[in-house]
Chains A and B, each alone.
Chain A
């Protein structure tokens, strides 16, 4: 097996170019599905690999409850630098699991707390709260709701408000929070998947923007609504992340002012973009497959070493 055992841990790097290309050239819906799927598969492979390395590591520790076969010389031969790798894998896996559990728990806590904050208000699909801070959120839950502040509404005219509501409704009907949670967990399972998380949070917004544009019937109205609200939200602490390079909002507005994305799922092969996309897709598929292969091989070696 040799160093191939470690492949699933570093192969997520190969998804970076595809994230780049998908973000720029695919329809946002296709890009969101594709990138979330890729992130999910690579994260599962990476975690599986880590778990199996951990087994090799723990089997060497004295007093462990695992089958003796797992520390067989044969098994250890399959993993290069087994002593180091195995022992490093233990804290790494613990960190991954703790981080994922924490992220999932926080996800549910925010949703629960936000739902509770709105208790006492009439059960309408849109909750308008009086606040001088302009913000709007889609709040998925037992009863999907859109939360919007009076400050946000006063800054927009009626068509722009429709665009805003259409955008938030698109988040809810397409269950965008599930995509976001998936990539967030994937990014925690393997830090190399972080660019995919950033890419998906952008493509999900773009997806909702395009949906809103179809609903309202004007891409320019959606662009204006986003631009205006971003400008008057400036200074409001709506996001703690500072974007060093061109942030997502100008890119979204520019995309809406440009031509509508083609409905096709994938660019044609015989163009520069198509070639690049296919090459990147092939690379990612190969990585995912070899990740899976490494993980499965390691599993079988361990299985064979265990007397059943």
Chain B
């Protein structure tokens, strides 16, 4: 949902670019010797990106939980939390959150339960006790 709201006016090529940049920044952070500053990341990426862009991407990654930050003086020092698989999970989550009726596209293993469903389900499963390991 959030991606859709904030990125609603952007064109998809630009959004794709954001995803790639996130992966690049995360990869750079993972190669860092420890907690590093945004300037270090910017330098590591070859300096093609503006400092503000790097900051924006780091903030986005932080919002997703892919990186952690720590205040060091007047700026932040950043460390990677997620790896490739973690970033894939975050991206996947973003795809799923962005689609209100994704059931129509991706068949989910289970769908949401209402309170009544839950009670029904517990009753059904209770009829077959202790048979989960067979």
A interface, CB within 8 angstroms of B: 103, 106-107, 109-111, 113-114, 116-121, 127-131, 133, 135-139, 147, 149, 152, 157, 159-160, 164, 167-168, 171, 176-177, 180-181, 184, 197, 201, 204-205, 208, 218, 220-221, 223-224, 226-231, 233-234, 237-250, 253-254, 257
Q: List A contacts of B98 (CB < 8 A).
A: 113
Question: Interface residues, chain B, CB within 8 Å of chain A?
Answer: 12, 16, 19, 23, 82, 84-89, 91-114, 116-118, 120-122, 124-125, 127-128, 131-134
**B11 CB to nearest chain A CB (Å):** 13
- Residue in B closest to A160 when the chains form the complex, CB atoms: B132
* A136 close to B108 (CB less than 8 A): yes
* B110-A114 in contact (CB<8A): no
> How far in angstroms is the closest Cβ of chain B from A232?
10
A131: nearest chain-B partner, CB-CB:
B89
Q: Which residue of B19, B92, B116, B133 is within 8 Å of A114 (Cβ)?
A: B92
Which residue from chain B places its CB closest to the CB of A256 in the assembled complex?
B124
List residues of chain B with CB within 8 A of the CB of A110: 95, 99, 102, 105-106
Specify which chain B residues have a CB less than 8 angstroms from the CB of A204 in the assembled complex: 107
Q: Is there an interface contact between B84 and A120, defined as CB atoms closer than 8 Å?
A: yes
- A sample of 22 cross-chain residue pairs with beta-carbon separation below 8 angstroms, ordered by A number, consists of A106-B105, A111-B106, A113-B95, A116-B19, A129-B89, A130-B89, A135-B96, A136-B108, A149-B89, A177-B106, A230-B111, A234-B113, A234-B118, A239-B103, A239-B111, A241-B103, A243-B111, A246-B120, A247-B114, A249-B110, A250-B113, A253-B121
When C-beta atoms are compared, the residue in chain B nearest to A119 turns out to be B88
Which one, A103, A133, A224, A234, contacts B93 given CB within 8 A? A133
Residues of A within 8 A of B110 (CB): 226, 229-230, 233, 238, 249
Are the CB atoms of A220 and B105 closer together than 8 Å?
no
Complex Cα spacing A226 to B113, Å: 12
Q: Which residues of B contact A224 (CB under 8 A)?
A: 125, 128, 131-132
Complex: A230 Cα to B12 Cα, angstroms: 34
Chain B residues near A137 (CB-CB < 8 A): 106-109
